[in-house]
Amino acid sequence: MDKNSFAKKPPMGWNSYDCFGWSVTEDQFKENVDYVAQNLKDYGWEYCVVDFCWSYPGVGPIYPPNQKFEEGKFDVELVLDEFGRPMPAPTKFPSCKLGFKPLADYVHAKGLKFGIHLMRGIPRQAVEYKLPIYGTDGITADQIISGEDCDWLNHNKGLDMDKEGAQEFLNSIFKQYAEWEVDYIKLDDAARPYTLGRRKEVEGYHKAIENCGRPMVLSLSPGAISHQTAPVEEGEHFVKFANAWRIKDDVWDNSKHLRDIFPIASKWVNFIGEGHFPDCDMLPIGRLLKCGGFGGERDDKLTVKEKEVMLTLWAMMRSPLMMGGHLPESKEEALKFYKQREVIKINQDSTDNKVIVDDMKYPVWGAKVGDTEYVVYFNVSKSSLPKIVRAKIDGSKAVDVWSGQEFKIKNGKVCFTLTKNSCKLIRIVK
């Protein structure tokens, strides 16, 4: 099974993290599925993803809900089956006591695709209780761990893929996910630090997807604590074994996070290709953090121009597009950014994506869609002074994609002003 054959274009969809963290419930998830189906599917949005800790009962603010283990028991127990495989917590997903198949059916009935989040490794609870590994003769969870654990959520232990039973455990969970008809996997704590152990685990997840026989997009996430970036020197490994991989920490709705992504993105542009896409992170646009934490529930704090910068870079980068806001309560002034057909087309169909000017303050990017050329000028300087740009245009017509207005070409150039945290995305007609 060729992983690139079922993710030829960057995945587009909605993920529960930015608005619900680990606390999303079945009803809240369905509300957003309904919204995507009714209002956004026609624009290309299709994946709906339950984010982290879906086997952890209860709800709370977005901060990782770590477990305590004292005197041989956990303060809060994950919902696992007899083989240590995570199951949906019925307190949050009442229709899914036997697995996510009912929720996947709901999503599929809307003409959309269903995804779930996974933590790398095996539940620590399975390890402490020495639960058996499905499909093996007497191997237990405590016999297949590596000690390379996540530093921000202690639910799982890393797998030692050189030990008998480790691949069998991954095969067993993906056997379930195939039965549940899952289409998309967000694998957390995987993209950095990209140690040998993590590399082998990623290979194991890739192999488990092949073994289960159901196409599933594999998207790697780094988690949120370390401030390292995904290592560019491992780019070919990401390309070979994953469909998408996060290149940076979580991106939230502030100008610093937006500026910080540019020098990182420029290093990854040569790894864009059919079935493999560097991931700039979710789009924190709309109604955020209904679960609380990180400043509490709010509409996103990005300006209109900053939203244009974000969508434009994500498009030129061909990053996966995952909406983060609670869609039914997001304002139309935010939702309109998810309905930009031309920008989405650049994201989905562009080629020859490149950095023309690799500048920390005023980068310039280019791409093509068929015979149409696009060039974008960014101002991500910290200075409040505007930038005057005189751009050479090799064509008969130049149009500002975001405003729809045609530029006046004089002596083969167009002139415009870029204010702080803004961009001009130009369509050039020959």
CATH number at residue 418: 2.60.40.1180
Q: Tell me which of 308, 324, 349 is where a domain ends.
A: 349
The domain in which residue 335 lies consists of: 3-349
Residue 274 sits in the same domain as residue 423: no
Residue 170 sits in the same domain as residue 71: yes
CATH number, domain of 61, equals 3.20.20.70
Tokens of 8: 């030829």
Three state DSSP letters for 349-405 = HCEEEEEEECCCCCCEEEEEECCEEEEEEEECCCCCCCEEEEEECCCCEEEECCCCC
Q: Are 155 and 53 in contact (CB under 8 A)?
A: yes
Residue 249 within a domain: yes
pLDDT digits (tens, 9 = 90+) for 150-204: 999 999 999 999 999 999 999 999 999 999 999 999 999 998 888 899 999 999 9
Residue 358 within a domain: no
Query: Which parts of 213-303 fold into alpha helices (H)?
Result: 235-241, 255-268
* pTM of the shown model: 0.96
Q: Tell me which of 323, 349, 375 is where a domain ends.
A: 349
Residue 56 sits in the same domain as residue 161: yes
User: What SS3 state is found at 306?
Assistant: helix
Total structural domains within the chain: 2
Chain-centroid distance of CA 305 in Å reads 22
* Radius of gyration of the CA atoms of the chain, in A: 22
Q: Are 365 and 262 in contact (CB under 8 A)?
A: no
Residue 64 sits in the same domain as residue 190: yes
pLDDT digits (tens, 9 = 90+) for 46-101: 999 999 999 999 999 999 999 999 999 999 999 999 999 999 999 999 999 999 99
Give the Cα separation of 319 and 194 in Å (integer).
20
Q: Is the pLDDT of residue 217 over 90?
A: yes
Q: Is the pLDDT of residue 39 over 80?
A: yes
pLDDT at residue number 192: 83
- Of 429, 324, 416, the closest CA to residue 378 belongs to 416
Give the Cα separation of 206 and 197 in Å (integer).
14
Q: Are 118 and 165 in contact (CB under 8 A)?
A: no
Residue 28 sits in the same domain as residue 124: yes
Give the Cα separation of 17 and 28 in Å (integer).
12
Read off φ and ψ for residue 291, nearest 5 degrees: -80, -15
Give the Cα separation of 337 and 340 in Å (integer).
6
